[in-house]
């Protein structure tokens, strides 16, 4: 059988094939790298005009252990003691059973410990205050009597256990009442609008009656 002699393809044909091949590669690469970029969040203002920091830039974590999930009670600018214009307008209530450990939302120095109040009843109740060394303080309320695990002057790291939750003071049910304040931490204080960098879901402002998980930090 007579074989056809080898023919060199026309250069225009080669160019056409290369052009098509290049176009296909470009489309594929565009598809792989064409994921939408994260858009910056719109600023969120509190009830007195304070702007919440984006959670990704917040120095605060949820005040309970990584992997744990709890439901919020009252949160910011909601009602009752958390209503707009009240000292606790920027406080968070986390519904946690009696005896649940709570942790430091941010590192600092133990500024004040009160743990001699009855485990249930009226008044302020038992609490611990952490000085963040920048003019702000973290306040954690409603521990049972003698159940705060740190002492004044102790240095704590973010995530360190501070004590357990209860229902001392003006707590109608067991929960942790947490707020960050600026200036004098004695009531009536000036609360700050804060977000949490490890809350799942990642809401800028935690919603009331919503379950949140503490992610890694």
DSSP class per residue in 136-169 = EEEEEEEEPTT-B---TT-EE-TT-EEEE-BB-S
What letter would DSSP give residue 89?
Answer: T
Please give the C-alpha separations between residue 163 and each of 1, 48, 126, 130, 158, in angstroms, as whole numbers. 94, 32, 10, 13, 14
Q: Residues 4-18: what's their mean pLDDT? A: 48
pLDDT at 23 over 60: no
State the residue for tokens 């049972």.
144
User: What are the tens digits of pLDDT across the range 159-214?
Assistant: 999 999 999 998 999 999 999 999 999 999 999 999 999 999 999 999 999 999 99
Q: Determine the pLDDT at residue 79.
A: 95
Q: Which residue has the higher pLDDT, 5 or 114?
A: 114
Assign 10 a pLDDT band (cuts: 50, 70, 90): low
Percent of the chain at pLDDT exceeding 90: 78
The structural domains of the chain, with segments of one domain joined by +, span: 55-212
Q: Determine the pLDDT at residue 122.
A: 81
Q: Determine the pLDDT at residue 198.
A: 98
CATH fold for the domain made of 55-212: Glucose Permease (Domain IIA) (2.70.70)
Average pLDDT, whole number, for the chain? Answer: 88
Q: Which residue has the higher pLDDT, 45 or 39?
A: 45
pLDDT at 40 over 70: no
Q: Determine the pLDDT at residue 119.
A: 96
In whole angstroms, what is the distance from residue 131 CA to residue 178 CA? Answer: 14
Pairing of strands 101-103, 108-114: unpaired
- The answer to pTM > 0.75 is yes
What are the two backbone dihedrals, phi and then psi, of residue 200, each rounded to the nearest 5 degrees?
Answer: -120, 115
Q: Residues 73-96: what's their mean pLDDT? A: 97
Q: Determine the pLDDT at residue 75.
A: 98
Q: Determine the pLDDT at residue 8.
A: 45
Choose among 57, 77, 46, 78: nearest CA to 202: 57
């Amino acid at each position: 059988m007579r074989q056809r002699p080898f023919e060199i393809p026309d250069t225009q044909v080669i160019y056409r094939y290369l052009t098509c091949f290049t176009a296909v590669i470009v489309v594929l690469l565009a598809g792989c790298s064409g994921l939408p970029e994260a858009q910056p969040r719109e600023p969120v203002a509190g009830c007195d005009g304070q702007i919440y920091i984006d959670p990704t830039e917040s120095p605060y974590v949820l005040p309970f252990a990584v992997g744990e999930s709890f439901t919020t009670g009252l949160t910011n600018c909601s009602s009752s003691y958390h209503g707009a214009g009240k000292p606790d307008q920027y406080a968070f209530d986390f519904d946690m059973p009696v005896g649940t450990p709570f942790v430091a939302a941010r590192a600092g120095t133990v500024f004040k410990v009160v743990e001699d109040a009855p485990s249930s009843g009226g008044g302020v109740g038992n609490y611990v205050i952490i000085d963040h060394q920048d003019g702000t303080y973290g306040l954690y309320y409603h521990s049972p009597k003698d159940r705060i695990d740190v002492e004044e002057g102790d240095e704590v790291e973010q995530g360190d256990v501070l004590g357990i939750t209860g229902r001392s003071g003006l707590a109608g049910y067991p929960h942790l009442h947490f707020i960050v304040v600026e200036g004098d931490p004695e009531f009536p204080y000036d609360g700050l609008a804060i977000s949490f960098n490890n809350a799942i879901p990642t809401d800028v402002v935690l919603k009331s009656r919503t379950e949140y998980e503490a992610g890694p930090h």
